[in-house]
Amino acid sequence: MSNTAMENLNLASQEVLISPAELKAKMPVSEAAKKTILNGRKMVNDILEKKDHRLFMVIGPCSIHDVDAAMDYAKRLKVLAEEVKDSIAIVMRVYFEKPRTTVGWKGLINDPHLNGSFNIEEGLQIGRKLLLDIAELGLPTATEALDPISPQYLHDLISWSAIGARTTESQTHREMASGLSCAVGFKNGTDGSLTVAVNAMQSVSSSHHFLGINNNGQVSVIRTNGNPYAHVVLRGGGGKPNYDSVNVALCEQDLRKHGMSESIMIDCSHENSNKNHELQPLVLENVTTQIIDGNKSITSLMVESNIGAGNQKILDDHSQMQYGVSVTDKCIDWETTLASVRAMHEKLKDVLPTR
């Protein structure tokens, strides 16, 4: 009998990771943070169900790569959130994982030092501390659920989650989302198709059984109840936007046809802004006009915003990189963010209560 190896032929190494329970014990949730998270989830759910007349806006950097800049941004955003809270409920976008078409930086959890060292355990600790710090400011957070394992480590701190255009069609992600404790937005397909998002919403509302890990890090059979707060996110696709009133009406019809809630989020970035960050404020203006003209289905928005505008490459010498500028997709700067959100608030503060 040959002793030739039959498994793990392409594995370079395996490393045992801290369990979710151990990480949570090391970095527990304070009462102040718990209040922020739970209130944030209820706020989002009430808006989706149209019990709360406000819009919720998921806004922040395309991805987090510098925790100091992220906290600086969060403190600024908290002040803005208080200013516009009567019409717009702010949720900070805190994305740690990035899907890649081929290769590239995969986000703070996977590569916290931005140098290919992939210290994932440290990345999880850095990410959890940042989420706790932001929650203690009183600001709820949102993220993209990309890796099916990481929610056990971090999602107790999240008030809203997204499933991206590349993964909306994935059954693995639909099953995972069915067990998340917060509302989940499913983006339309990269080709602009609504079908995958509608199918995902139907799937995620149902119970599922699948392999995963439990709080102790043990491989387990996970059984979920289904998530009642799934909704669609229009982000454009196939080279065209879909935030305009015609596409919104078509989305409403599709949701109605399938018996789904007509609660729509508009992603102001990606192909809705022709991948030009400077056009995001124009999308906000258009959505504002739609609501003034009588739209009742748009309940939320997503904006990619940072301290500085545009994006930059990751340099070997991190000290030479621009502070508060994205290393992934381009973002609008803080001054543009202030002007755009304030303008929307002023135009809608008397309209939304009568919606």
pTM: 0.96
Residue 3: pLDDT over 90:
no
Predicted local distance difference test score (pLDDT) of residue 4: 74
Tens of pLDDT, residue by residue over 37-74, are 999 999 999 999 999 999 999 999 999 999 999 999 99
Q: How far apart are CA 130 and CA 68, in angstroms?
A: 9
pLDDT at 136: 98
Q: Which amino acid is at 134?
A: I
For 150-196, how does the pLDDT look when each residue is reduced to its tens digit (9 = 90+)?
999 999 999 999 999 999 999 999 999 999 999 999 999 999 999 99
Nearest to 149 by CA among 181, 176, 129: 176
Q: Report d(CA 151, CA 174) in Å as an integer.
A: 13
For residues 181 and 155, the answer to whether their CB atoms sit within 8 Å is yes
Is the separation of the CB atoms in 247 and 234 below 8 Å? yes
What Rg value do the Cα atoms of the chain yield, rounded? 20
What CA–CA distance (Å, rounded) separates 188 from 288? 21
* Mean pLDDT, the chain, integer: 96
Strands 160-163, 141-144: pairing kind:
parallel
Would you place residue 104 in the very low, low, confident or very high pLDDT band (cuts 50, 70, 90)? confident
The pairing of strands 219-223 and 209-213 is: antiparallel
Residue 1: pLDDT band by 50, 70, 90 thresholds?
A: low
